[in-house]
Structures are given as C-alpha cells and as structure tokens.
C-alpha cells in the first residue's frame, strides 16, 4: 500500500524540484496540485470565462484532463494572477479536492508513495497523510532563486519585481479565509533558505526513514 507524502509551502520555495526528485528516486507518482488551479485558469483565459461564473468554472474543473494539466502554457504571469484569484473560491477547491483525492488511488496502487505538493495538502486534502513536510525559505532568497531561473531562460525581469510578486502571493496564500497556507499538524518544518536542493532532498529522505512508528 502506498503512503502519501504531502509537501506544502509558499511560491518559489522549491516544492516542485524537491517533489520531482523524490518521485524519481522512489519511482512514485507526483501530483503538482498548483497545475490544477493553473489548468482551470488557462481554460478561463482561453474560453474568456467570467471569473465569477461559478457553473462554468466548476465545469472546467470537472472536465480536467491530463492534457490540460500538462499544458506547456500553464506558467505565465497572466495565469499566475488568474490561478491565485480562483484558488480563493471554495467551490473550486471542493471540486479539485475530488481530483486530488482520486490521484493516489488511480496512479499509486502499486507504488511505495504518492507525492502531492501544494498549499493545503497536509491540512485539507490529505490530513491523514503519514508524511507531511512544510517547506519555507526567506522571501528574498526565494526571489533570488527565481530570478536566476528566469534570467537563465533569457527573460528580462528585475529582482525587485520578482520579490514583490512573491510577497504578494505569500500574503494571499497565507491570508485567505479558505484553506490558507499553514503547516499541518504533524508536519516536519524545513527551512531551505541555506540548503541547496541536494541537502533538502537528503533531509526529507531522513524524515521518511525515521517516521516509521
Ligand atoms: O504552486 P503553484 O504556483 O503552481 O500554484 C498556482 C496557484 O494555485 C497559486 O496561486 C496557489 C494556488 N494553489 C492553491 O491554492 N492550493 C494548492 N494546493 C496549490 C496551488
């Protein structure tokens, strides 16, 4: 039987990189739940759906396919903004919860773990998960990491602009009424400000090895 590894944390903290490494190392499926919000946001943008049209938004969430979730256009500042807005809607979160809870049953039945990363995985989606990691890093350090990534890809953007974006997203994620970002009960807190990815990966492996009660 698979166990759930829930990884939560703020924007640009390295959840996806860490979760991908774990997924490869343990040959276990990975769900990046932010992609669900982004996929719905992309449908809203492409189909020009009103951001308050509850029925159409629920319909988008219900009909999400792997092709939507793996769409290469999920990562842009337009989609960041729409995803952030719609992620505060309870009806959307309720619908996407269904997808997230199905994921391990569908894809991890013969695997050691199902790895799910996001903002509310340990608190709302899988409160019963055996392994819960809450990642944190200083916002300026997160901004510098993101800046290096983005500029390496040839985009022109200022560090200050990235930093301001991170602060704005933190305050939305931490401050929203529905499913705010916070460490789950029974989670391990890992501040990666002064850790590189390999060190963070090793720390999480230790958690997995030692949590067998
Ligand atoms: O992790 P990300 O940046 O791809 O997430 C995209 C948006 O979705 C972001 O605004 C936070 C939101 N989100 C959420 O509210 N709950 C999750 N479990 C995952 C993402």
- DSSP SS3 for 50: coil
pLDDT band of 210, cuts 50, 70, 90: confident
Task: Judge if the beta carbon of residue 33 lies within 6 A of ligand 1.
Answer: yes
Q: CA torsion, points 88, 107, 55, 175, in degrees to nearest 10?
A: 0
Strands (DSSP E) contained in the chain are 3-8, 30-32, 113-118, 131-136, 188-191
Task: Judge if the beta carbon of residue 29 lies within 6 A of ligand 1.
Answer: no
Please determine, for residue 39, whether its predicted confidence score (pLDDT) is greater than 80. yes
What residue ranges do the domains of the chain occupy?
Answer: 3-196
CA 213 to centroid of ligand 1, rounded, Å? 31
The per-residue pLDDT for range 74-96, each reduced to its tens digit, is: 999 899 999 999 999 999 999 99
What is the value of pTM for the model shown?
A: 0.95
The CATH number of 3-196 is 3.40.50.300
Mean pLDDT computed over 35-45: 98
* Averaged pLDDT of the chain: 95
**What sign for the dihedral angle of Cα 122, 124, 126, 130?**
positive
Q: And the tokens for 2?
A: 């698979």
Burial class (CB in 10 A: 0-12, 13-18, 19+), 202: exposed
pLDDT band of 212, cuts 50, 70, 90: low
């Amino acid at each position: 039987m698979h166990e759930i590894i829930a990884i939560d944390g703020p924007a640009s903290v390295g959840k996806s990189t860490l979760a991908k490494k774990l997924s490869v190392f343990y040959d276990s499926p990975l769900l990046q739940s932010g992609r669900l919000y982004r996929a719905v946001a992309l449908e809203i943008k492409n189909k020009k759906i009103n951001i308050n049209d509850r029925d159409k938004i629920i319909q988008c969430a219900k009909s999400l396919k792997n092709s939507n979730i793996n769409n290469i256009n999920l990562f842009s500042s337009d989609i960041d903004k729409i995803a952030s807005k719609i992620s505060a809607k309870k009806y959307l979160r309720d619908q996407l919860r269904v997808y997230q809870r199905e994921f391990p049953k569908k894809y991890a039945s013969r695997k050691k773990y199902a790895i799910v990363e996001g903002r509310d995985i340990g608190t709302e989606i899988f409160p019963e998960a055996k392994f819960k990691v809450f990642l944190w890093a200083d916002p300026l350090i997160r901004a510098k990491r993101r800046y290096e990534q983005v500029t390496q890809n040839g985009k022109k953007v200022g560090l200050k602009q990235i930093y301001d974006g991170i602060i704005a997203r933190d305050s939305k994620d931490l401050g929203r009424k529905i499913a705010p970002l916070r460490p789950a009960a029974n989670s391990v807190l890992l501040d990666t400000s002064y850790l590189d990815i390999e060190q963070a990966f090793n720390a999480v492996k230790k958690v997995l090895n030692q949590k067998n009660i």
